[in-house]
Amino acid sequence: MWVDNGYTGQVVATSAAKADVTVEVVSGAKPDHGFTVQPRRRVIERTNGWINHRRRIDRYYETTLTAHEGFLYLSQIALLLRQLDRSQLFDTL
């Protein structure tokens, strides 16, 4: 998992070890002046933006965490399927 400098510390390290997740702190090059976007940070922010476009996911209508997680998976699967080149998909069938 890529994180920025805000996610350093003992709490993050302990949580990552419990979940068996590798956490990598991504810090970009220091600019001479101004703000530059870190490339890996954009991946996470873009994914969160896509999830927020799904009304059912955004409003937390589900009563159980498992159901909510299932809808997260379904929304990401639907997004990936839409990004496939459909002509190549149907040529192989």
Q: What is the pLDDT of residue 57?
A: 63
Q: What is the pLDDT of residue 8?
A: 78
16-37 residue pLDDT tens: 888 888 888 777 666 666 776 6
Q: What is the pLDDT of residue 89?
A: 58
Residue 73 has pLDDT above 80, yes or no: yes
55-72 residue pLDDT tens: 666 566 667 888 778 888
- Of 4-13, 72-81, 82-91, where does mean pLDDT reach its minimum? 82-91
Q: What is the pLDDT of residue 29?
A: 64
Sequence spans of domains, the chain:
53-93
Angle at which helix 65-83 crosses helix 39-52, to 10 degrees, equals: 110
Computed over every residue of the chain, the mean pLDDT equals 73
- Record the tokens describing residue 84, joined without a space: 């496939």
